[in-house]
Amino acid sequence: MTELHAVRDTTVWERQWQQHFQRVSALLDTHTTAGERSDARTRITDADRTTIDRLLRRTFDA
């Protein structure tokens, strides 16, 4: 979502994504450590990135 924020208009980001980003961030902060998040970032695969991209673009929606 951070990458998405970098390429979206601020108004669009705030209206469509900021609340979701805050919820995901709070969830991660509550249930993982900074070290676990860092480790996960180093292990992400291209397939993971593709899945996340598709989720954000809503291409899995029926």
Cα–Cα distance, 21 to 17 (Å, whole number): 6
Q: What is the largest CA-CA distance in the chain?
A: 36
Give the per-residue pLDDT at 32: 97
Q: What is the pTM of this model?
A: 0.66
Continuous H helices in the chain: 2-7, 10-16, 18-31, 34-43, 46-57
pLDDT at 27 exceeding the cut of 90? yes
Confidence of residue 3 (pLDDT cuts 50, 70, 90): confident
Tell me: the pLDDT tens digits for 43-62? Answer: 999 999 999 889 888 888 76
CB atoms within 10 A of CB 13: 16
Confirm if 5 and 13 have CB atoms less than 8 A apart. Answer: yes
pLDDT at 4 exceeding the cut of 80? no
Residue, of 35 and 7, whose pLDDT is higher: 35
